[in-house]
Protein backbone atom coordinates (compact mmCIF):
# COMPACT_ATOMS: atom_id res chain seq x y z
CA UNK A 1 0.00 0.00 0.00
CA UNK A 2 1.17 3.54 -0.68
CA UNK A 3 -0.54 4.97 2.41
CA UNK A 4 -0.23 3.78 6.00
CA UNK A 5 0.43 1.11 7.09
CA UNK A 6 4.10 1.39 6.11
CA UNK A 7 7.46 0.36 7.37
CA UNK A 8 8.59 3.90 8.26
CA UNK A 9 5.77 4.14 10.79
CA UNK A 10 6.66 0.73 12.19
CA UNK A 11 10.30 1.76 12.59
CA UNK A 12 9.34 4.93 14.45
CA UNK A 13 6.90 2.95 16.59
CA UNK A 14 9.60 0.43 17.58
CA UNK A 15 11.70 3.28 18.92
CA UNK A 16 8.70 4.69 20.79
CA UNK A 17 7.88 1.26 22.20
CA UNK A 18 11.42 0.91 23.55
CA UNK A 19 11.12 4.32 25.20
CA UNK A 20 7.74 3.43 26.71
CA UNK A 21 8.91 0.03 27.93
CA UNK A 22 11.76 1.76 29.77
CA UNK A 23 9.11 3.88 31.49
CA UNK A 24 7.16 0.74 32.52
CA UNK A 25 4.30 1.49 30.12
CA UNK A 26 2.34 -1.67 29.30
CA UNK A 27 -0.71 -0.51 27.35
CA UNK A 28 -1.50 2.17 24.79
CA UNK A 29 -5.07 3.47 24.40
CA UNK A 30 -5.95 4.36 20.81
CA UNK A 31 -8.95 6.68 20.77
CA UNK A 32 -11.36 8.26 18.34
CA UNK A 33 -14.56 10.21 18.98
CA UNK A 34 -17.77 8.97 17.39
CA UNK A 35 -20.81 10.88 16.16
CA UNK A 36 -22.44 10.61 19.58
CA UNK A 37 -19.49 12.51 21.04
CA UNK A 38 -18.29 9.44 22.96
CA UNK A 39 -14.56 8.76 23.09
CA UNK A 40 -14.17 5.14 21.99
CA UNK A 41 -10.95 3.16 22.23
CA UNK A 42 -8.99 0.02 21.61
CA UNK A 43 -5.75 -0.70 23.42
CA UNK A 44 -2.61 -2.54 22.39
CA UNK A 45 0.27 -3.81 24.51
CA UNK A 46 3.37 -1.70 24.13
CA UNK A 47 5.09 -4.57 22.35
CA UNK A 48 2.41 -4.41 19.64
CA UNK A 49 2.76 -0.69 18.92
CA UNK A 50 4.94 -1.23 15.85
CA UNK A 51 2.45 -3.70 14.41
CA UNK A 52 -0.38 -1.25 15.05
CA UNK A 53 1.55 1.56 13.38
CA UNK A 54 2.28 -0.57 10.33
CA UNK A 55 -0.98 -2.47 9.89
CA UNK A 56 -3.51 -0.72 12.08
CA UNK A 57 -5.92 -2.17 14.62
CA UNK A 58 -9.27 -3.55 13.50
CA UNK A 59 -12.46 -1.75 14.50
CA UNK A 60 -15.99 -1.93 13.13
CA UNK A 61 -17.37 1.18 11.39
CA UNK A 62 -20.73 0.55 13.06
CA UNK A 63 -19.71 2.73 16.00
CA UNK A 64 -20.27 5.74 13.77
CA UNK A 65 -23.99 5.04 14.13
CA UNK A 66 -23.93 4.20 17.85
CA UNK A 67 -25.93 6.41 20.19
CA UNK A 68 -24.75 7.59 23.59
CA UNK A 69 -26.50 4.62 25.28
CA UNK A 70 -24.67 2.13 23.00
CA UNK A 71 -27.74 1.33 20.96
CA UNK A 72 -27.30 1.61 17.20
CA UNK A 73 -29.11 3.16 14.27
CA UNK A 74 -28.17 2.91 10.61
CA UNK A 75 -27.53 5.16 7.65
CA UNK A 76 -27.26 4.81 3.89
CA UNK A 77 -23.49 4.36 3.91
CA UNK A 78 -22.73 3.10 7.43
CA UNK A 79 -24.53 0.61 9.66
CA UNK A 80 -24.91 -3.06 10.46
CA UNK A 81 -22.43 -5.77 11.44
CA UNK A 82 -20.42 -5.91 8.20
CA UNK A 83 -17.09 -4.30 7.42
CA UNK A 84 -13.95 -3.36 9.27
CA UNK A 85 -11.60 -0.39 9.56
CA UNK A 86 -8.02 0.06 10.70
CA UNK A 87 -7.03 2.40 13.52
CA UNK A 88 -3.61 3.98 13.05
CA UNK A 89 -2.03 5.70 16.07
CA UNK A 90 -0.71 9.21 15.52
CA UNK A 91 2.78 8.71 16.91
CA UNK A 92 3.37 12.47 17.03
CA UNK A 93 0.67 12.65 19.73
CA UNK A 94 1.80 9.60 21.71
CA UNK A 95 1.58 10.59 25.37
CA UNK A 96 2.36 8.85 28.65
CA UNK A 97 -0.73 9.17 30.84
CA UNK A 98 0.25 10.75 34.13
CA UNK A 99 -2.93 9.73 35.99
CA UNK A 100 -3.01 6.15 34.65
CA UNK A 101 0.26 4.49 35.64
CA UNK A 102 1.47 2.00 33.05
CA UNK A 103 -0.58 3.54 30.24
CA UNK A 104 0.02 5.75 27.24
CA UNK A 105 -2.40 7.29 24.75
CA UNK A 106 -2.53 8.23 21.10
CA UNK A 107 -5.41 9.53 18.97
CA UNK A 108 -6.15 7.33 15.98
CA UNK A 109 -6.84 8.06 12.34
CA UNK A 110 -9.16 5.59 10.65
CA UNK A 111 -8.52 3.97 7.28
CA UNK A 112 -10.21 1.39 5.11
CA UNK A 113 -8.75 -2.11 4.95
CA UNK A 114 -6.89 -1.21 1.75
CA UNK A 115 -5.19 1.72 3.48
CA UNK A 116 -7.23 4.51 1.91
CA UNK A 117 -8.56 7.17 4.31
CA UNK A 118 -12.00 6.41 5.76
CA UNK A 119 -14.47 8.97 4.41
CA UNK A 120 -16.31 9.29 7.74
CA UNK A 121 -13.23 9.79 9.94
CA UNK A 122 -14.02 12.83 12.08
CA UNK A 123 -10.37 13.58 12.83
CA UNK A 124 -9.58 13.51 9.14
CA UNK A 125 -12.48 15.91 8.52
CA UNK A 126 -10.92 18.46 10.89
CA UNK A 127 -7.60 18.03 9.13
CA UNK A 128 -9.19 18.46 5.68
CA UNK A 129 -10.78 21.74 6.72
CA UNK A 130 -7.53 22.99 8.29
CA UNK A 131 -5.73 22.09 5.06
CA UNK A 132 -8.39 23.95 3.07
CA UNK A 133 -7.66 27.05 5.14
CA UNK A 134 -3.92 26.57 4.65
CA UNK A 135 -4.36 26.50 0.87
CA UNK A 136 -5.94 29.94 1.19
CA UNK A 137 -2.91 31.15 3.15
CA UNK A 138 -4.78 31.02 6.47
CA UNK A 139 -3.89 29.36 9.76
CA UNK A 140 -6.32 28.67 12.60
CA UNK A 141 -5.40 28.60 16.27
CA UNK A 142 -7.99 26.96 18.50
CA UNK A 143 -8.47 26.00 22.13
CA UNK A 144 -11.36 24.40 23.99
CA UNK A 145 -12.43 25.25 27.49
CA UNK A 146 -13.33 22.22 29.58
CA UNK A 147 -16.04 22.48 32.25
CA UNK A 148 -16.93 19.62 34.53
CA UNK A 149 -18.75 18.86 37.76
CA UNK A 150 -17.14 16.82 40.52
CA UNK A 151 -19.32 14.51 42.59
CA UNK A 152 -18.59 11.91 45.21
CA UNK A 153 -18.38 8.42 43.75
CA UNK A 154 -19.35 7.13 47.20
CA UNK A 155 -19.56 8.33 50.76
CA UNK A 156 -20.50 11.64 52.29
CA UNK A 157 -21.55 14.73 50.40
CA UNK A 158 -19.63 17.41 52.32
CA UNK A 159 -22.98 18.89 53.34
CA UNK A 160 -23.63 20.06 49.80
CA UNK A 161 -27.18 19.70 48.56
CA UNK A 162 -28.04 19.49 44.89
CA UNK A 163 -29.22 23.07 45.02
CA UNK A 164 -26.06 24.19 46.78
CA UNK A 165 -27.74 25.33 50.04
CA UNK A 166 -25.77 23.03 52.33
CA UNK A 167 -28.83 21.16 53.66
CA UNK A 168 -27.55 17.71 52.63
CA UNK A 169 -27.95 15.59 49.51
CA UNK A 170 -31.36 14.89 48.05
CA UNK A 171 -32.24 11.31 47.19
CA UNK A 172 -31.46 10.38 43.60
CA UNK A 173 -29.36 13.48 42.94
CA UNK A 174 -25.57 13.64 42.74
CA UNK A 175 -23.57 14.45 45.84
CA UNK A 176 -21.41 17.39 44.89
CA UNK A 177 -17.80 17.64 45.99
CA UNK A 178 -16.16 20.93 46.84
CA UNK A 179 -18.75 23.17 48.47
CA UNK A 180 -18.36 26.88 48.08
CA UNK A 181 -19.30 29.80 45.85
CA UNK A 182 -18.54 30.29 42.17
CA UNK A 183 -14.94 31.42 41.69
CA UNK A 184 -14.57 30.99 45.45
CA UNK A 185 -11.28 29.98 47.01
CA UNK A 186 -13.32 27.88 49.43
CA UNK A 187 -13.98 25.26 46.77
CA UNK A 188 -10.33 25.05 45.79
CA UNK A 189 -9.24 24.73 49.43
CA UNK A 190 -11.73 21.91 49.91
CA UNK A 191 -10.35 20.05 46.89
CA UNK A 192 -6.79 21.41 46.98
CA UNK A 193 -5.04 18.07 46.44
CA UNK A 194 -7.44 17.15 43.66
CA UNK A 195 -7.00 20.39 41.70
CA UNK A 196 -3.22 20.20 42.21
CA UNK A 197 -3.19 16.68 40.78
CA UNK A 198 -5.22 17.76 37.75
CA UNK A 199 -2.66 20.49 37.05
CA UNK A 200 0.25 18.15 37.71
CA UNK A 201 -1.08 15.48 35.36
CA UNK A 202 -1.81 17.92 32.54
CA UNK A 203 1.63 19.49 32.83
CA UNK A 204 3.32 16.07 32.78
CA UNK A 205 1.48 15.34 29.53
CA UNK A 206 2.66 18.53 27.87
CA UNK A 207 -0.69 20.34 28.10
CA UNK A 208 -0.16 24.08 28.62
CA UNK A 209 -2.81 25.19 31.12
CA UNK A 210 -3.73 28.87 30.99
CA UNK A 211 -6.03 28.94 34.01
CA UNK A 212 -8.28 26.85 36.24
CA UNK A 213 -11.08 27.98 38.54
CA UNK A 214 -14.37 27.01 40.21
CA UNK A 215 -17.40 27.74 38.02
CA UNK A 216 -21.04 28.64 38.75
CA UNK A 217 -22.72 25.29 39.43
CA UNK A 218 -22.07 23.31 42.63
CA UNK A 219 -18.89 21.24 42.35
CA UNK A 220 -18.06 22.75 38.95
CA UNK A 221 -14.61 23.64 37.62
CA UNK A 222 -13.19 24.93 34.35
CA UNK A 223 -9.75 24.59 32.82
CA UNK A 224 -8.51 26.53 29.78
CA UNK A 225 -5.58 25.33 27.71
CA UNK A 226 -3.32 27.08 25.22
CA UNK A 227 -4.31 27.43 21.58
CA UNK A 228 -3.01 25.01 18.96
CA UNK A 229 -3.85 23.93 15.44
CA UNK A 230 -7.41 22.64 14.93
CA UNK A 231 -6.61 18.91 15.03
CA UNK A 232 -4.23 19.27 17.96
CA UNK A 233 -6.78 21.39 19.82
CA UNK A 234 -9.37 18.63 19.42
CA UNK A 235 -6.80 16.03 20.52
CA UNK A 236 -6.12 18.13 23.59
CA UNK A 237 -9.84 18.38 24.36
CA UNK A 238 -10.02 14.57 24.44
CA UNK A 239 -6.84 14.18 26.48
CA UNK A 240 -7.80 16.86 29.00
CA UNK A 241 -11.20 15.31 29.60
CA UNK A 242 -9.88 11.79 30.06
CA UNK A 243 -7.06 13.03 32.30
CA UNK A 244 -9.55 14.81 34.56
CA UNK A 245 -11.66 11.66 34.61
CA UNK A 246 -8.66 9.56 35.66
CA UNK A 247 -7.49 12.00 38.34
CA UNK A 248 -11.04 12.11 39.72
CA UNK A 249 -11.21 8.32 39.95
CA UNK A 250 -7.92 8.20 41.84
CA UNK A 251 -9.42 10.63 44.38
CA UNK A 252 -12.62 8.61 44.78
CA UNK A 253 -14.53 11.24 42.83
CA UNK A 254 -16.57 11.23 39.63
CA UNK A 255 -16.21 13.87 36.92
CA UNK A 256 -19.06 14.52 34.53
CA UNK A 257 -18.80 16.70 31.44
CA UNK A 258 -22.48 16.31 30.48
CA UNK A 259 -24.34 19.49 29.44
CA UNK A 260 -26.30 19.41 32.68
CA UNK A 261 -25.99 17.49 35.92
CA UNK A 262 -29.53 18.45 36.89
CA UNK A 263 -32.15 20.62 35.17
CA UNK A 264 -32.22 24.30 36.06
CA UNK A 265 -28.51 24.66 36.69
CA UNK A 266 -25.96 26.49 34.56
CA UNK A 267 -24.43 23.32 33.11
CA UNK A 268 -21.13 22.42 31.46
CA UNK A 269 -19.98 24.06 28.25
CA UNK A 270 -17.03 23.26 26.00
CA UNK A 271 -16.51 26.71 24.51
CA UNK A 272 -14.18 27.08 21.56
CA UNK A 273 -11.71 29.96 21.28
CA UNK A 274 -10.17 30.65 17.89
CA UNK A 275 -8.02 33.12 16.04
CA UNK A 276 -7.21 33.46 12.35
CA UNK A 277 -3.68 34.17 11.09
CA UNK A 278 -2.01 35.09 7.81
CA UNK A 279 1.73 35.67 7.29
CA UNK A 280 2.29 35.78 11.02
CA UNK A 281 -0.40 38.40 11.66
CA UNK A 282 -3.56 37.95 13.70
CA UNK A 283 -6.53 38.84 11.46
CA UNK A 284 -8.68 39.65 14.49
CA UNK A 285 -6.52 42.70 15.27
CA UNK A 286 -5.11 45.72 13.45
CA UNK A 287 -7.75 46.20 10.76
CA UNK A 288 -10.28 48.85 9.83
CA UNK A 289 -13.31 46.72 10.68
CA UNK A 290 -15.35 46.75 13.88
CA UNK A 291 -13.16 46.65 16.99
CA UNK A 292 -10.03 46.30 14.89
CA UNK A 293 -11.04 43.26 12.84
CA UNK A 294 -9.40 42.96 9.44
CA UNK A 295 -11.57 42.31 6.39
CA UNK A 296 -10.84 38.56 6.28
CA UNK A 297 -11.19 38.32 10.07
CA UNK A 298 -14.60 39.95 10.01
CA UNK A 299 -15.73 37.85 7.05
CA UNK A 300 -14.65 34.64 8.77
CA UNK A 301 -16.61 35.48 11.93
CA UNK A 302 -19.58 36.62 9.84
CA UNK A 303 -19.57 33.23 8.13
CA UNK A 304 -19.61 31.45 11.47
CA UNK A 305 -22.39 33.70 12.81
CA UNK A 306 -24.49 33.21 9.70
CA UNK A 307 -24.17 29.42 9.88
CA UNK A 308 -24.69 29.11 13.65
CA UNK A 309 -28.28 27.76 13.53
CA UNK A 310 -27.07 24.81 11.41
CA UNK A 311 -23.76 24.52 13.26
CA UNK A 312 -25.72 24.12 16.48
CA UNK A 313 -26.71 20.59 15.45
CA UNK A 314 -22.99 19.77 15.55
CA UNK A 315 -21.90 21.87 18.54
CA UNK A 316 -24.95 21.21 20.77
CA UNK A 317 -26.10 17.86 19.38
CA UNK A 318 -27.98 16.18 22.24
CA UNK A 319 -31.49 16.86 23.59
CA UNK A 320 -29.83 17.74 26.90
CA UNK A 321 -27.89 20.49 25.13
CA UNK A 322 -31.08 22.51 24.75
CA UNK A 323 -31.84 22.30 28.46
CA UNK A 324 -28.50 24.11 28.96
CA UNK A 325 -28.91 26.65 26.14
CA UNK A 326 -31.15 29.01 28.05
CA UNK A 327 -31.00 32.83 28.10
CA UNK A 328 -29.23 34.62 30.94
CA UNK A 329 -26.86 31.72 31.63
CA UNK A 330 -23.92 32.80 29.45
CA UNK A 331 -24.56 29.76 27.27
CA UNK A 332 -24.90 31.64 23.97
CA UNK A 333 -28.59 31.21 23.27
CA UNK A 334 -28.82 34.10 20.77
CA UNK A 335 -27.53 34.38 17.22
CA UNK A 336 -25.56 37.54 17.80
CA UNK A 337 -22.07 38.74 18.49
CA UNK A 338 -20.48 41.40 20.64
CA UNK A 339 -17.17 42.44 22.15
CA UNK A 340 -16.77 40.76 25.54
CA UNK A 341 -20.48 39.92 25.63
CA UNK A 342 -20.76 36.56 27.39
CA UNK A 343 -24.46 36.27 26.55
CA UNK A 344 -23.81 36.36 22.80
CA UNK A 345 -23.19 33.08 21.00
CA UNK A 346 -20.14 34.67 19.36
CA UNK A 347 -18.01 36.72 21.72
CA UNK A 348 -15.16 38.85 20.38
CA UNK A 349 -12.22 39.15 22.77
CA UNK A 350 -9.98 42.02 21.59
CA UNK A 351 -7.40 41.28 24.29
CA UNK A 352 -4.88 43.70 25.82
CA UNK A 353 -3.97 46.57 23.50
CA UNK A 354 -0.25 45.73 23.59
CA UNK A 355 -0.75 42.01 22.86
CA UNK A 356 -1.98 41.64 19.27
CA UNK A 357 -1.62 37.89 19.40
CA UNK A 358 -4.23 37.55 22.14
CA UNK A 359 -7.22 38.74 20.10
CA UNK A 360 -9.63 35.86 19.56
CA UNK A 361 -13.28 34.91 19.34
CA UNK A 362 -15.24 32.52 21.54
CA UNK A 363 -18.11 30.33 20.35
CA UNK A 364 -20.18 29.65 23.44
CA UNK A 365 -22.98 27.36 22.20
CA UNK A 366 -20.88 24.18 22.46
CA UNK A 367 -20.95 21.37 25.01
CA UNK A 368 -19.12 18.09 25.52
CA UNK A 369 -21.69 15.94 23.71
CA UNK A 370 -20.17 17.47 20.57
CA UNK A 371 -17.34 15.74 18.76
CA UNK A 372 -14.46 18.29 19.00
CA UNK A 373 -13.08 17.29 15.60
CA UNK A 374 -16.47 17.85 13.93
CA UNK A 375 -16.82 21.17 15.75
CA UNK A 376 -13.42 22.40 14.60
CA UNK A 377 -13.93 21.33 11.00
CA UNK A 378 -17.46 22.69 10.71
CA UNK A 379 -16.48 26.06 12.18
CA UNK A 380 -13.61 26.36 9.70
CA UNK A 381 -15.92 25.48 6.79
CA UNK A 382 -18.40 28.15 7.85
CA UNK A 383 -15.70 30.78 8.35
CA UNK A 384 -14.02 30.12 5.01
CA UNK A 385 -17.39 30.43 3.30
CA UNK A 386 -17.77 33.84 4.96
CA UNK A 387 -14.47 34.92 3.43
CA UNK A 388 -15.40 33.55 0.00
CA UNK A 389 -18.76 35.34 0.14
CA UNK A 390 -17.21 38.54 1.59
CA UNK A 391 -19.76 38.57 4.42
CA UNK A 392 -19.85 41.34 7.00
CA UNK A 393 -20.98 41.28 10.60
CA UNK A 394 -24.26 42.87 11.69
CA UNK A 395 -24.25 45.45 14.45
CA UNK A 396 -22.79 44.11 17.70
CA UNK A 397 -25.08 43.42 20.63
CA UNK A 398 -24.36 44.50 24.18
CA UNK A 399 -26.05 43.22 27.31
CA UNK A 400 -28.40 40.29 27.75
CA UNK A 401 -31.05 40.28 24.99
CA UNK A 402 -33.47 38.61 27.40
CA UNK A 403 -33.21 41.70 29.61
CA UNK A 404 -32.67 44.48 27.07
CA UNK A 405 -35.24 43.20 24.59
CA UNK A 406 -32.76 43.54 21.73
CA UNK A 407 -34.25 42.30 18.46
CA UNK A 408 -31.88 39.40 17.85
CA UNK A 409 -32.95 35.86 16.90
CA UNK A 410 -32.77 32.94 19.28
CA UNK A 411 -30.78 30.01 18.09
CA UNK A 412 -32.76 26.75 17.72
CA UNK A 413 -34.35 25.78 21.00
CA UNK A 414 -34.54 22.04 20.34
CA UNK A 415 -32.50 19.37 18.62
CA UNK A 416 -35.13 18.76 15.90
CA UNK A 417 -35.08 22.45 15.04
CA UNK A 418 -31.28 22.47 14.81
CA UNK A 419 -31.31 19.31 12.68
CA UNK A 420 -33.75 20.96 10.29
CA UNK A 421 -31.32 23.85 9.91
CA UNK A 422 -28.46 21.39 9.31
CA UNK A 423 -30.48 19.64 6.60
CA UNK A 424 -30.88 23.01 4.92
CA UNK A 425 -27.14 23.73 4.92
CA UNK A 426 -25.58 22.62 1.64
CA UNK A 427 -22.36 24.16 2.91
CA UNK A 428 -21.98 21.80 5.88
CA UNK A 429 -23.29 18.80 3.97
CA UNK A 430 -20.69 19.31 1.25
CA UNK A 431 -17.92 19.91 3.77
CA UNK A 432 -18.70 16.77 5.78
CA UNK A 433 -19.23 14.55 2.76
CA UNK A 434 -22.17 12.20 2.35
CA UNK A 435 -21.02 9.22 4.48
CA UNK A 436 -20.12 11.35 7.52
CA UNK A 437 -23.07 13.71 7.09
CA UNK A 438 -25.66 10.93 6.86
CA UNK A 439 -24.19 8.91 9.73
CA UNK A 440 -24.09 12.00 11.94
CA UNK A 441 -27.67 12.91 11.07
CA UNK A 442 -28.85 9.37 11.79
CA UNK A 443 -27.20 9.39 15.21
CA UNK A 444 -28.68 12.72 16.22
CA UNK A 445 -32.13 11.78 14.96
CA UNK A 446 -31.77 8.59 16.99
CA UNK A 447 -30.87 10.50 20.14
CA UNK A 448 -34.00 12.59 19.73
CA UNK A 449 -36.19 9.56 19.06
CA UNK A 450 -35.04 7.63 22.11
CA UNK A 451 -35.49 10.58 24.51
CA UNK A 452 -38.48 12.41 23.06
CA UNK A 453 -40.89 11.13 25.73
CA UNK A 454 -38.44 11.48 28.65
CA UNK A 455 -38.66 14.14 31.32
CA UNK A 456 -35.82 16.66 31.58
CA UNK A 457 -34.68 14.87 34.73
CA UNK A 458 -34.49 11.54 32.89
CA UNK A 459 -32.65 13.07 29.92
CA UNK A 460 -30.07 14.64 32.21
CA UNK A 461 -29.55 11.71 34.56
CA UNK A 462 -29.01 9.39 31.59
CA UNK A 463 -25.84 11.31 30.65
CA UNK A 464 -24.11 11.76 34.01
CA UNK A 465 -21.96 8.66 33.53
CA UNK A 466 -21.74 8.82 29.72
CA UNK A 467 -19.87 12.10 29.28
> Residue 354's pLDDT band (boundaries 50, 70, 90)?
confident
| Total residues belonging to the chain | 467
Query: Residue 173, class by beta-carbon neighbours within 10 Å (0-12 exposed, 13-18 middle, 19+ buried)?
Result: middle
Q: Distance (Å, rounded) from C-alpha 108 to C-alpha 89?
A: 4
Residue 245 has pLDDT above 50, yes or no: yes
Q: Please tell me the least confidently modeled range out of 105-109, 167-171, 441-445.
A: 167-171
Region for 275 from its dihedrals, namely left if φ exceeds 0, alpha if ψ lies in -120 to 50, beta otherwise: beta
pTM: 0.94
Q: 7-118 with 130-149+177-461: one CATH topology?
A: no
Would you say 140 and 134 are in contact if contact means Cβ atoms under 8 Å apart? no
Q: Please tell me the least confidently modeled range out of 141-145, 248-252, 354-358.
A: 354-358
Give Cα 38 to chain centroid, integer Å. Answer: 10
Confidence (pLDDT) at 3: 47
Confidence (pLDDT) at 164: 38
Annotation: CATH topology of 7-118: Ubiquitin-like (UB roll) (3.10.20)
Over its C-alpha atoms, the chain yields an Rg (Å, rounded) of: 22
Question: How confident is the model over 401-423, as pLDDT tens digits?
Answer: 999 999 999 999 999 999 999 99
What DSSP string runs through 385-437?
A: HHHHTT--------S-HHHH----PBPPSSHHHHHHHHHT-HHHHHHH-HHHH
> Residue 172's pLDDT band (boundaries 50, 70, 90)?
low
Annotation: CATH topology of 130-149+177-461: Creatine Kinase; Chain A, domain 2 (3.30.590)
Q: Please tell me the least confidently modeled range out of 261-265, 367-371, 379-383.
A: 261-265
Domains in the chain: boundaries: 7-118, 130-149+177-461
Average pLDDT over residues 318-323: 97
Q: What share of the chain is helix, strand, coil (3-state, %, to 5)?
A: 40, 20, 40
Strand 334-339 and strand 344-349: pairing?
Answer: parallel
Question: How confident is the model over 111-165, as pLDDT tens digits?
Answer: 999 999 999 999 999 999 999 999 999 999 999 999 999 999 854 334 333 333 3
Average pLDDT over residues 43-68: 97
Amino acid sequence: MDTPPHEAAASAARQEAARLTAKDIHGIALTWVDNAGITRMKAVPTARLAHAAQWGVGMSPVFDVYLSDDSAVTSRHIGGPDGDLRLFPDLDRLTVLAAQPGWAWAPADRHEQDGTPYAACQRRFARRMADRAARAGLRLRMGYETEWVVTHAAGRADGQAAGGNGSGPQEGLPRYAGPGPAYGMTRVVGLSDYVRDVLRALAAQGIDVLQIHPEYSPGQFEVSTAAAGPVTAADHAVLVRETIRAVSARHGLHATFAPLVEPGTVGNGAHLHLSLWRDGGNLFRGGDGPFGLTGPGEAFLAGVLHELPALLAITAPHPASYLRLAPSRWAGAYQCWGPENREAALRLIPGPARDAGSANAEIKCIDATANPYLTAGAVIAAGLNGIEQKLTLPDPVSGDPAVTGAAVPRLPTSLPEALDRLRGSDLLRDALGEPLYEAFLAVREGEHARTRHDSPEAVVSDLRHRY
